[in-house]
Amino acid sequence: ISYSKADNCIYAGLEDSKVWEYPVVAVYDADTLKFTGRYYILDKALHTRGLPWVAVDNDRGLLITLDHSKKANKLIFYDIADNMKYVGSVKLSETVRSIQGAEMYGGMLYAATNDDTQAVYKIDPKSGDVSKYPLLSSSPAYMQLSALE
């Protein structure tokens, strides 16, 4: 489960294991963490390999997902205020592999990957431009991860 918060709600992407028949976004109250009873089944034709994460663009009122969990080629957008109506997609400037989670910050989407480089990617959700930020071996995060192995 991966989630993003907007309007005191937590939007959580749920997967049905390796079947990927029902890409579901469930909505939880951010204060109580209780399920609100609201959920949305997204178009599985647009999500060909699950829904491992969702992100919320609060400035534009959009839920952001991707087309494929192992090799993303485009971002997919839904209007939160209009019952998760599909509003379009943006092709990425390059394929991003194995995104494990993403979050909006300063108008950009930052995506953490589980690929060979363990990189974080900065993605412009309007243009699809992708920039890669590798996890440096001298960073505290890298040292903590290395200690776990």
The string of pLDDT tens digits covering residues 106-121 is 999 999 888 777 788 9
**Band of pLDDT at residue 139, cut at 50, 70 and 90:** low
Give how far Cα 15 sits from Cα of 23, 25, 68, 74, Å.
6, 9, 13, 19
What length is written for the chain?
Answer: 149
Q: Per mean pLDDT, which range of 8-12, 29-33, 76-80, 130-134 is the poorest?
A: 130-134
Q: Render pLDDT for 54-95 as a digit per residue (tens, 0 to 9).
A: 999 999 999 999 887 688 899 999 999 999 999 999 999 999
Residues 6+ apart with CB under 8 A from 15: 23, 24, 50, 51, 52
Q: Strand 108-113 and strand 120-123: pairing?
A: antiparallel
In this prediction, residue 1 carries a pLDDT of 45
